[in-house]
Amino acid sequence: MDRLALWLTWLLDGAARLLPSGRRLWVEAVRAEAGQVPAGRQRLSWIAGGLWLAVREANVARKIGYWLGIGAIAVIGGWIAWLGFLGTAATDAEAVTDRFRIVVLLTALVGLPWLARRHGLFGPVGPSVIARFVRVAGCAGLCGLGLIVLRIDAHAKGNIMGNGRFNPVEEFCGLAARIRQGTYAGITAGVIGGLLCTFIFLFFVFLIVLGPLIGVLGGRVGAALAADHLPSRRTDRSISADLFISD
Amino acid sequence: MPQPVRLSVQTLEVLSALTTEPSSWRHGYDLARETGLKSGTLYPILIRLADRKLVEARWEDEQPAGRPRRHLYRLTSDGVAVASEALATAAAKRRTAAAAPAPRLARGNS
């Protein structure tokens, strides 16, 4: 049971690293008290409470939902852009537009959340001016990009609803028709993308939490192996020393 | 002036424990023993109370021999006021409940 408590304590150390500094100290407080709690079931319960605190304060469920959502949006957006790309010949001048659109769309979808994640994109924003600027500029940029895509769609040759004039209703209808084309494939791709992002997130959690534990265990195994081998080496040395003396 | 808050029974227990000696710093395990709360319940309560500035926290100043430094807690002046009011309200509710006549059961069998 003591070994289990030790492992849970290591796990608690790793879990503390998942939290921002303002919350980390509370988990460290639980960790600091663990040694004072009587060993056995009481100590296990105490440490388990600390782990629960870390999971609760890290908002793990919210983060999984967030990454599922981001992944689904990225893959659906990419899929829709890909459908637009498929409809155009590679030698057509429109293909350049489509490639540019894909690059810009994917960069915006992946890059903006990455840039702004420290300040909470789509959530509470930090108190700094930069944080507010990034959030507003990101949203405005995406809206502007959407309008540009719609404008290009309206003027592209052979498009579903394009007739060369800017008509917001027709352009939104055209976009809706294009989305309908890829609805089923998009949903499938969104689910797969979301799951992928979640797995990646959980992989990083695994690395952060279990990394120190694996390192310590690796060190212990190495130490145990060394301990097994050292006495025999000493014996060999002592034997050779004896032989040398006898000679 | 702190905003009025709805406090759970467990939060009242923590406040009650902290109110016994408001000026002295208490550590988490000490509070857990006194209230009977698990760490997974006690610490979220302490976090919320600290977020509301009702509890202040600090680490022990000096590194004690043989154990890590502890995180210590005590009520702020706002915390003392809120705790006194909440505990008084809870006590009054308990008195009212105790003074009320017991509900009549099984009316048809009497």
**pLDDT tens figures, B2-32:** 555 678 999 999 999 999 988 899 999 999 9
Nearest to A198 by CA among A65, A77, A106: A65
pLDDT band at A193; cut points 50, 70, 90: low
pLDDT at site B17: 93
- Tell me which of A123-132, A133-142, A233-242 is least confident: A233-242
Query: Which residues in chain B are contacts of A48 at CB distance < 8 A?
Result: 40
Residue from B33, B39, B42, B60 to probe the interface with A (highest A Cβ count within 10 Å): B39
**Binary contact (B38, A53; C-beta < 8 A):** no
Q: Which residue has the higher pLDDT, A161 or B31?
A: B31
Tell me, letter by letter, the H, E, C secondary structure of A64-104.
HHHHHHHHHHHHHHHHHHHHHHHCCCCCCHHHHHHHHHHHH
How far does the CA of residue A44 sit from the closest CA of chain B (Å)? 11
| Res. B36: pLDDT tops 90 | yes
Q: Which residue has the tokens 């008290």?
A: A33
pLDDT band at A247; cut points 50, 70, 90: very low
pLDDT at site A54: 86
Radius of gyration of chain A from its Cα atoms, rounded to whole angstroms: 29
Q: Does B38 touch chain A (CB under 8 A)?
A: yes
pLDDT at site A236: 42
Q: Which residue has the higher pLDDT, A134 or B46?
A: B46
| Res. A36: pLDDT tops 80 | yes
How far does the CA of residue B40 sit from the closest CA of chain A (Å)? 4
pLDDT at site A116: 58
CA atoms in the 13 A half-sphere facing the CB of B80: 9
Q: For chain A, what is the mean pLDDT?
A: 66
| Res. A27: pLDDT tops 60 | yes
Q: Which residue has the higher pLDDT, A123 or A195?
A: A195
Beta-carbon pairs below 8 A across chains A and B? 58
- Tell me which of A29-38, A82-91, B53-62 is least confident: A82-91
Q: Does B68 touch chain A (CB under 8 A)?
A: yes
Average pLDDT over residues A100-121: 59
CA dihedral sign, ordered A90, A91, A94, A98: positive
pLDDT band at B102; cut points 50, 70, 90: low
DSSP B66: T
pLDDT at site B110: 39
